[in-house]
Amino acid sequence: MGKETEDPSQMTEKEIMESLLRTERCNARHSMITMITCMVMTCVLTIAVVVVVPRLISIMNSETSLIAAASEIKDNLNTLTDNAQSTLDNVNNLANNANDVITQNSDELTEAINKISNIDIESLNQSIKDLQSIVEPLSRVSSIFGN
């Protein structure tokens, strides 16, 4: 090795050739290591692409289907909310209509009760007795002519 640092003009042709051969072997070793490293990295990247990319595509497809399902669920919830609001509006209208009917009938029922309470029962009874006393003799007369 000490000869390698010597001046090439003082070296013999054989020593120069041996020095070149050692240098070329060292360069070949470095080139081989570099080539093997590149091949290993290429294999690792190829395996990664072959294994990882299909999984990524599968995950992305799953995400797409999940997003579509979530969107459909959101649309269904919106429809359900709209239907619930419509139902509540209808129930509110029904309650208002029932309240109006009760109020209207309550007024009429109160009016009828007031009219009934204003009837003079004693006068009515007296009128019925008077009518009976008139109808009874007529009934006797008609029974005489009718038989």
- Each residue's pLDDT tens digit, 108-117: 888 888 888 8
In whole angstroms, give the CA distance from residue 66 to residue 59: 10
> Given this model, what pLDDT does residue 1 score?
44
Distance from chain centroid for Cα 16: 83
> Given this model, what pLDDT does residue 118 score?
82
> Given this model, what pLDDT does residue 110 score?
84
Determine the 3-state secondary structure of 147 from DSSP.
coil
Contact 39, 54 (CB under 8 A): no
15 Cβ partners below 8 Å, 6+ apart? 3
Q: Is the dihedral of CA 85, 91, 94, 95 positive or negative?
A: negative
> Given this model, what pLDDT does residue 39 score?
97
For the chain, residues with pLDDT lower than 50 are 1-4
What does each C-alpha distance from 20 to 5, 12, 13 come to in angstroms?
12, 12, 10
> Given this model, what pLDDT does residue 147 score?
56
> Given this model, what pLDDT does residue 3 score?
47
> Given this model, what pLDDT does residue 146 score?
66
Read off the DSSP letter of residue 7: -
